[in-house]
């Protein structure tokens, strides 16, 4: 069985368990591949974190595409993280792909994860203010937070430059590739102490 075939089998399992949306596995993979190509306009990363990895999209696809990358798949739900660990083992990539279980609001303050990654990706994670604040916690200054966007949305309206700057992030660059839309947010400076905030503050008082 090829790596691509093994990935399809693993993701079918994720879809059956409800960890992926109803679209075909082929469409999920195509979306992740288009995302990789959009990111590679900059450079394939030495490491990356998949924020809210869930069923492993895009994390597992990117991990196989970038065999030199060290990968962390982060999710807060025990059932999903247990499945992700099994999936990583089935794909034979456990030596360089690990699973972090916990809430991003907490893990974003841990020294081993805080501002350690040149790339963080987020798909269907949350509203833009929450995704930006939590994602920035893991991106090293000079790195990139990339978010999958709903089709037809205006990046500058959803990701206002003046508010992003409070999180150390630069104005958004929108990339449309393979019929999918992605936002690229480069990080210019370190995230301020006290960020990311707890879940209640994130919901009650979003950055925008």
pTM of the model: 0.96
pLDDT at position 154 is 72
Residues 6+ apart with CB under 8 A from 11: 20, 25, 28, 29, 55, 56, 57, 60
Mapped to the 3 state alphabet, what secondary structure does 170-194 carry?
CCCEEEEECCEEEEEEEECCCCCCC
Residues 71-80 have pLDDT tens digits of 999 999 999 9
Mean pLDDT along residues 13-27: 94
- Predicted confidence (pLDDT) at residue 93 exceeds the cutoff of 70: yes
Task: Note the pLDDT of residue 41.
Answer: 66
pLDDT at 3 over 90: no
What mean pLDDT is reported for the chain?
Answer: 95
61: Cα within 13 Å, side-chain hemisphere:
23
Mean pLDDT of 169-184: 92
Asked if residue 204 has pLDDT above 90, the reply is: yes
pLDDT reported for residue 42: 61
What confidence tens digit (pLDDT) does each residue in 125-171 have?
999 999 999 999 999 999 999 999 987 667 778 999 999 999 999 99
Q: Are the beta carbons of 105 and 196 closer than 8 angstroms? A: yes
Give the pLDDT confidence score for residue 205 in this predicted structure. Answer: 97
Residue 4's pLDDT band (cuts 50, 70, 90): confident
The residue among 118, 124, 80, 125 whose CA lies nearest residue 99 is 80
Both tokens of 90, joined, read 């089935």
Residue 23: partners with Cβ closer than 8 Å, 6 or more residues away? none
């Amino acid at each position: 069985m090829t790596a691509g075939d093994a990935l399809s089998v693993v993701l079918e399992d994720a879809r059956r368990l409800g960890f992926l949306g109803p679209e075909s596995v082929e469409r999920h993979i195509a979306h992740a591949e288009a995302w990789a190509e959009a990111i590679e306009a900059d450079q394939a990363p030495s490491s990356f974190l998949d924020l809210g990895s869930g069923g492993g999209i895009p994390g597992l696809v990117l991990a196989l595409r970038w065999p030199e990358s060290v990968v962390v798949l982060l999710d807060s739900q025990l059932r999903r993280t247990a499945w992700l660990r099994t999936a990583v083992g089935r794909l034979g990539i456990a030596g360089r792909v690990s699973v972090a279980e916990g809430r991003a609001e907490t893990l974003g303050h841990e020294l081993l994860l805080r501002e350690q990654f040149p790339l963080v990706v987020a798909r269907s994670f949350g509203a833009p203010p929450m995704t930006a604040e939590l994602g920035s916690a893991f991106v090293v200054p000079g790195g990139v937070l990339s978010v999958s966007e709903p089709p037809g949305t205006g990046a500058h309206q959803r990701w206002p430059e003046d508010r992003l700057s409070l999180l150390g992030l630069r104005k958004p660059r929108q990339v449309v590739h393979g019929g999918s839309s992605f936002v690229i947010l480069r990080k210019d400076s370190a995230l301020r102490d006290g960020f990311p905030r707890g879940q209640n503050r994130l919901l009650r008082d979003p950055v925008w």
